[in-house]
Amino acid sequence: MDLSSFIIAALALVIVFLLIRGRYRQGIGSRRAVARAHRALAGEEDAEALLEADGFTIIDRQVSCLWWITVDGEEEEVELRADLLVERDGERFIAEVKTGSKAPDPAFPPTRRQLLEYRLAFDPYGVLLVDVEAGAIYLVGFPRAVGG
């Protein structure tokens, strides 16, 4: 085997290795996504039981609404999807279900922004954060700043 044939064979092996490694990593990512989806579904089922035990009635699941924002004066339509629409004592709430160590914390910036967005877009009586692992339901409010 001459040097050029050796180099071509070595490059072919490197390419095959990289392709196999890419497929393997993609498979890991897919398995993680499936595991995350199963965890979220189980969390939502547990959250429903928790809410019902606290006197809430489940009205709808994966409820969506259209909302409009303006960017440089141009209106853009966005769709939002919340986990649950629930009701208690004639008042309707949007309930967001969270699992894990950070996401159930209402002060965690992505969670806080999501809840605020739901409060503005859905305009419910209130927004609930359901921490499935702690078995807790939090009513999250956003009082307006005065003089700010």
The number of folded domains in the chain is 1
For all residues of the chain together, what is the average pLDDT? Answer: 86
Question: Would you say residue 28 lies in a domain?
Answer: no
Is the pLDDT assigned to residue 148 strictly greater than 50?
no
Global pTM exceeds 0.85: no
Per the CB < 8 A criterion, the answer to whether 81 and 118 are in contact is: no
Decide if 24 is inside a domain.
Answer: no
| 100 located within any domain | yes
Collapsed DSSP state (helix, strand, coil) of residue 79: strand
| 107, part of any domain | yes
Residue 58 lies in a domain: yes
Instruction: Please give the Cα distance from 147 to 130 (Å, whole number).
Output: 32
35-59, pLDDT tens digit by residue? 666 666 667 889 999 999 999 999 9
Which CATH number characterizes residue 89's domain? Answer: 3.90.320.10
Work out the pLDDT band at 20, boundaries 50, 70, 90: confident
Which residue range forms the structural domain that includes residue 92? 33-140
In a domain, 86, yes or no: yes
4 located within any domain: no
Going by C-alpha positions, the residue among 130, 64, 55, 144 that lies closest to residue 91 is: 55
Helix, strand, coil share (%) of the chain residues, nearest 5:
45, 35, 25
